[in-house]
Each structure stands twice: as C-alpha cells, then as structure tokens.
Structure 1
Amino acid sequence: MSTACGAAANPASHFPKFHDYIVERTLLDMAEASGGGKELHLWRQQVQYTVGHTLNDYYSLTPKVRSQTPIQFLLERRWPPQSGAFLSLLHYWEVKNTISDALVRLVSSCHAGEVPFMLYEQWYVPVPELQMNLSIIFQLVWHSRSRGGGLNVQKFMVCGNEEVARGFIHMANVFCRKTFGTPPESVEIHYLMEGERRLYDGNAYTLEASLDYLRLLAVLNGERSSGCADCALKGESRNRAAENSLSRHLLM
C-alpha cells in the first residue's frame, strides 16, 4: 500500500492526529455491541483486509493488463484460508462467493481504462479550526469526467454501516475543501455483502457542518487512541504489527 504526503499534506507537528481508521473501528465495535456482540467479527476484518489488497493489486495494473486480468484470480491469492474466524464452512463459501460476485460487477463497470488519482493512500491535512491533523486513507479516487473535473471518491465496506459512511463523507468533505479548496464531486460507498451502491453529492454538506461532525467524532478518536487502539484483534494470537497493519490500512 502506498502512502502519500504532498505539500498540502504535511501535518503541523503541534496538532494531534485524527485517524479515520480509529474512528471507524470504534463505530463498528459500537454497532456490534449494540447488536449483542462484543467486537467486530474477525472474519469481517480478514475479508476487509483481503478486499483492500485485491482492489489495490487490480488497480495498480495498467489499464491494458487490467482488462486481461480476472479479479477473481487476484482475490483467490489473497483470500484467507477457512478457519475458526468464519461461522461455519457454509458461511465461509457464502461470503467468498458474494464478495467475488460483487468485485466482478464493480470492476466491469468502474472506470475501465482509467488510472486512479489516489489508490490506497494515506493523507494528512491540518485543520486549525479543530486543532488537529486529519489523517484519512482513500481507497480509490478518480478524476471526474465532467467539465468541472472534480474528484469522485470511492469507499468499499464488507458490510454496510450508516454511521461509518456518514463519518467518511464528512471527513472527505473536510479533507478536499482544505486540500483542494473544493468538496469532492461525489462520494460513492459500496456495501459489498449487501450488494448496495450509495452515491452521495460531495457538496451535500458545508465545511462548517462537517467540522461540527468531526468535533463529535474526535471524542471517539481520543478514547480509542488512549485506551484500546492496540486491541483490534483482542483474544486472537496475532502480533501487534499485524493488528496495526490490519486496522490502519484496510479496515475501512
């Protein structure tokens, strides 16, 4: 996975970092707890990690090579072996087939022949109003085909979560306005297991509205950072480096 830091992306060293992946993980754990669970299921973490690597592998190819490479082949190389992380062997195959079908539909209709503007890159931008550096990982960002030439931001989630989607839209709005001086043209979020595509107008929120929302999310960022950021795979025999890689790069 690549990490990008442009001129506008250098954080002011005296501001604390606001990590999108920490906030997202906290929201997902809260949703799981409200449903009677304790934390995000390990199979979802593993599949999210796999999806991220697969999409990165696919869109790292040149458009010509990409057109000749079945994404199922790349997915197979990354897919986790059947283990206790899944609910059953049947569940393992149901998830695998659903994700495979979703990715095939996605790449067959998504920006064929184009090169992404951003591909699994982490960016920082200072947000003086909040006294923080916003750290956000963009999975796929494309130049718009419209005359305005804005940015189309894509996010891929194994399972849908409205709070995570809303938080991401606000973070993308703040980032783009602070970095490029304009909101994204659109934000497109895919819920892969549900087979849903949500398309949002990037100008739906003002900068002030998104800053207010990030003020609320900052509480989650602070709690997770100081409390249990290193507990992403609690109870599992995983080392700290693997946990951080899983949460930081591909959980979202």
Structure 2
Amino acid sequence: MSHRPLARALTALATLLTTALAAVLVGPGPAQAAAVNYVALGDSYSSGVGAGPYDWSTCLRSQKSYAPLWATAHGASNFAFPACGGAVTADVLNDQVDSLSAGTTMVTVTIGGNDAGFVDVITSCRFGTTSTCTNAVNEARAFVTGTLPGRLDETYATIRDRAPNARLIVLGYPRLFELNSCGWLAMSVYKRTILNQAADLLATVTAGRAAAAGATFVDTRPFFVGHGVCASDPWIHDISGVIEAYHPDVDGYRHGYLAALNSVTG
C-alpha cells in the first residue's frame, strides 16, 4: 500500500495548523472603517451663529460650528449641513430633511428654542422690566410643556422616516448665564435665574421626547458650566453682538458642543 495519500494528508494538516497558529499570534487584520454619512440639521446653535465667519447664505453657517468640526475630525465620507439660523421645527420638516436618505448614518439636530420664542424672551428680559421678563418666561414655559412636545415628536419621526438607518443625536441648549455679580449693566440675578430655569425645562422636555423617539439626547449644560454670560471666561456672547448675542462663541462650539457630541460618539 502506498504511503503517499497519508503523507499528503499530514502535510495538509500541518499547513492548516500553521495558518491557524499564525492567525492567533498575529491577530486580525485592520478593520475596515464604516463610511460615515453625516447630516447636521437644526437652528442657529447648529449652523454656528456666534462662531463666524459665515457662508454667503442667509443661514449664517460657520465651519467653526461643532458639526463641520466633527465631520472633519472623524473623516466623514459625506457631510451635509442644512442647519439654518432662525430655524423652527417647521423649517426642519419643510426644508432640511430633504438632505436625508436611507444612506445617512448619523444625524444631529438642535431645535425647539425658536419655536418657544427664544429671541423674544431674551429681548423682553434684557430690555424690559422684571414683570415683563417673568411674563415672557412663563409664556415660553407653557409652550414648552404644552405645544413643543408634539412638534418635536413630529420632527424626530420624520427624520427617522427619511433616514431609517441613521443614529439620531439630539443636542440640547446650555444655560446661558452665570449668577455672579456682573456689573450694573447686566441683567439682574433674578432674570438670569428664571432664564436658566427655563433652559432646564426645555432640556427636560427635549430629552424626554428624544428618548421616546429612540434618539440619543446630549445634555450640553454640564459642558458649559462656568462659561456662561458673566463668567470670567465666557463661551457665550452677551448683548455686544446683535445677531450673535446669546449664542456660543468659537470656544463654545469647540469645547462645549463638540466635546458634548464626542462624549457619545467617541
């Protein structure tokens, strides 16, 4: 009987064992990075108002906003940036969601502040009496608890429908103010306190609706602690800039919003 078949079998077995051992010692090869198709939706806190310089659109988009910074740092394969200063939920639904598709893998959004009358409330508190400020804040709070949840639900559901394979990340708004002494031209501590409390309510409502939609909510408030208006190192503009007032500056977008986003994406 010939021993050649047995020799061939032993050789094949030895080759198989050598290959397996090499795989164990060397380990798996480098993983293929998944393509990131990122779309940044939302209002001025996403478009980058306060960071400048801006594009030529009326949306005041800045490449120093957290969204383009994240896209660049993470090597996004595709990045769409329809976020627009002044946007409300209806603008996201009517215009911005057209940038989404089944190929979108990540969506971020900040929305709801303008629906609740952010600009009017701040203006009433900055230039009006204490009672005017209180009334404006109370009206906004009633809107945030009564009307805004339904608008957020519709917005998140539409994003889900347009981008069914994407991770949806909802970013909140920071508290705008520190409560220390801030000079005689500053808003009173009382006004700043009730505005911060309104921001807390907005964060709570937004977080709840994001959770209901299966989205990831990112609370930006902790990242801005000690850097609000009246801080020694503020990351939020005061009234000095009309358009940029009460929006993050370059540091606010990089060290506040971008850091907050990185905390959930890595």
TM-score between the two structures when normalised by the length of structure 1? 0.27
More strand per residue: 1 or 2?
1
Highest CA radius of gyration, 1 or 2? 2
